Amino acid sequence: MSATPDFSPPRRILIVDADVGMRESAAALLKLQGYEVAAAADGVEALTMFAREWFPVVVTDSAVPPVDGIEFVARLRILSLAPVYIIMPTDTTDVRVHEQGYCMGVDQYLMRQNSLSELVGRVQAGITAIRRRQSSRTGRAHEPATVDLENGAHTARHLVGRLRAEIVQSGRSKKTLQILSIGLDAADATAFQQRSGSGTVSDTLLSAAHEAMRPKLDWVVRLPAPANTCRLVVVMPESGATEASAMEQTIRNAFVHWGLSSIASGIRLSTGLAAFAGEDQAPAALELLGQAERHRRASDTPARASAARPTESAPAQDAA
C-alpha cells in the first residue's frame, strides 16, 4: 500500500490593504520568515493578481476599495481554482459580523491591534491547513492555470469569476485582453482516439496550449464538448497580435504530423479570436466568450464546405 505523497504548497502570501504602511510592515515581517510576498492596494488589483497566480494564503483588510472586504472574499472564492486560506484583520469583536465573514469564506479573523505580533503564526497555520486540504493538482506551483469544466473539477463560476477579473483589469490598464477559442472535431470515434507521443487528441491540444502560455498571465479553459470533439479557450491578458498568432501556431504545430489539412486525417482544427481593448464599455464575460466562439464557427464553415465537396461520406459531427 503506497503512502499518500506529502504535498507542500508554495510559501506565497498575498497581502491586500489600502494602508501602505501596514502592507509594507506585514510584507517585511513575512519575508524575514522566508515567505514570498506580493501586495495589492485594492480589491480589483488583488483579484487580477490572484487569477494569474495561486496564493495559498491571503491576508486582507476588511475594507479593500472599491469593494468591502467581505465582498472581496466572496469574489476571491468564486475565482479560486485551488484551496486558499483567508485571514482578515479586524477592529470589531461583533460575533454577527464575524459570522457573516465566515459564511462568505473568511477562515480566520485577527484582531488588528495584535495583527503584526500574531501574523506569522496565523500564516503558518494557513499553510498547514492548505497542506491538509490539498487533493487536486490544479493550481500547484509550477503548473499552468487550467479551469477544467470538462472533467467537472471546476464550474462556470470559476470561469466567469476569473474572466470578469481580467475584463475589469483590462478596463483599468487599457491593455488588450484576447480570448482564443479552439475547436478540434473528429469524423468519428476512431479518428478522435488517434494517439501521438503526448497522448490523445484532447491531451495533445491541452499540452500544446500549456506550452505556449505565458507564465502568470495566460490561462486556459477546457470546456465540455459533444462526442468526438474538443473545446479549449485560452485567455491572454495584456496581449496583441503576436501573442495570439504564436498561440495558434503552436497549437497547429502540435498536430502537423496528423495531416489536419487532409480529409483522410478525419480531424479538423478551427480557431476564433475575440478581444477587449479596455476602451469601450466592458462586455460581460459570457459575451466575450460567445464572440470568440462565433468567430471560430465562422472560420470553420468554409473548411466544412471544402471538406464535404470531394466525398459523399457523412460529414463530421457539428460542434455544439
The arithmetic mean of pLDDT across residues 148-175, rounded, is 89
Out of 83, 101, 133, a domain closes at 133
Whole-angstrom Cα Rg for the chain: 22
DSSP string across 127-145: HHHHHHH----TT-TTS--
Give me the CATH number covering residue 126.
3.40.50.2300
- Checking if the pLDDT of 113 tops 80, the result is yes
pLDDT, averaged across the chain? 84
Q: Which of 242, 198, 247 is nearest to 218 (CA)?
A: 247
CATH at 276: 3.30.70.270
- Region 301-310: mean pLDDT is 56
Average pLDDT over residues 219-245: 94
Beta strand 108-111 with 146-148 is unpaired
**The pLDDT value given to residue 309:** 47
Burial class (CB in 10 A: 0-12, 13-18, 19+), 279: exposed
Is residue 128 located within the same domain as residue 259? no
Long-range (24+ apart) CB contacts under 8 A made by 285-294 are: 285/159, 285/160, 285/163, 285/164, 285/167, 286/160, 288/163, 288/167, 288/177, 288/179, 289/163, 289/179, 289/181, 289/233, 291/179, 292/179, 292/180, 292/181, 292/233, 293/181
18 and 64 Cβ atoms separated by less than 8 Å:
yes
Residue 61 C-alpha from the chain's centroid: 24
Mean pLDDT of 67-83: 88
Q: Are residues 71 and 105 in the same domain?
A: yes
**pLDDT-based confidence at residue 95 (cuts at 50, 70, 90):** confident
> Is the model's pLDDT at 311 over the cut of 90?
no
pLDDT reading at 12 higher than 90: yes
What's the pLDDT at 304?
63
pLDDT at 201: 79
- The answer to whether residue 220 scores a pLDDT higher than 90 is yes
The secondary element (H helix, E strand) that includes residue 40 is strand 36-40
Within a 10 A sphere around the Cβ of 171, how many other Cβ atoms?
Answer: 18
Residues 129 and 150 in one domain: no
Give the number of domains in the chain. Answer: 2
pLDDT confidence tier of residue 4, bands split at 50, 70 and 90: very low
Full domain range(s) for residue 182: 146-308
Residues 272-290: tens digit of each pLDDT: 999 999 877 899 999 999 9
Asked, for residue 230, whether it belongs to a domain, the answer is yes
Q: What is the mean pLDDT of the segment spanning 95-107?
A: 88
Evaluate if residue 221 carries a pLDDT over 70: yes
Clarify whether residues 41 and 169 are in a common domain: no
Do residues 188 and 43 share a domain? no
Pick 264 or 103 by higher pLDDT: 103
Residue 76 near residue 50, CB atoms below 8 Å: yes
In-domain check, residue 42: yes
Q: Are 297 and 189 members of one domain?
A: yes
Q: Of 133, 162, 187, which residue is a domain's last?
A: 133
Considering the domain architecture, whether residues 224 and 299 belong to the same structural domain is answered as yes
Cα–Cα distance between 307 and 316 in angstroms, integer? 9
In a domain? residue 6 = no
